[in-house]
A and B are shown apart, each in its own frame.
Chain A
Amino acid sequence: AQSVTQPDIHITVSEGASLELRCNYSYGATPYLFWYVQSPGQGLQLLLKYFSGDTLVQGIKGFEAEFKRSQSSFNLRKPSVHWSDAAEYFCAVGGVPSNDYKLSFGAGTTVTVRA
């Protein structure tokens, strides 16, 4: 079965500093990978997704993620964090042939931004 691990439950970062959120997946073939963000009291918003091709994916709000097949990872990065980036971030994986519509989500990483 597919699964997603986000090793960091909570990360605190200073405004203007770089941010990296880790995501590891378990899946037997090339997965479809997603990063979503959830601001307080809101639903989830898609930041970026990877299906195939270039392994470095650009998303909204200045985020990017890199797919590394050898490490089964899809880490999210942002060079300079803004206070509005404080939120919960979810990595998700899909693409199991018998479950084309389903996504499996990680437990999430909460990001706190300090001034």
Chain B
Amino acid sequence: GAGVSQSPSNKVTEKGKDVELRCDPISGHTALYWYRQSLGQGLEFLIYFQGNSAPDKSGLPSDRFSAERTGGSVSTLTIQRTQQEDSAVYLCASSGQGSDTQYFGPGTRLTVL
């Protein structure tokens, strides 16, 4: 594709519900990242996938958060039993082999009521 796409663009959910956020990286990019951006804050690293290697999950804030990447392409970030503090914009980025530049998607704005 032309760029990184994410869906949905907006998600409103009730506290306690599970949500799934999707990321389609740039075709051929081997690395995929998830970040979270709260209002007025910088981006907070969540998880990193590189090829077939085990993902770096060191940024996930709790065990309610998980992510998978199928076939080395599309990734899904799942948040179980959502809490109000999970409200933020969730950004996905991808980068090519050997590249340090990250290309970001437009983000998914999650609101937990």
- Asked if A pairs with B, the answer is no
Interface residues of B (CB under 8 A from A): none
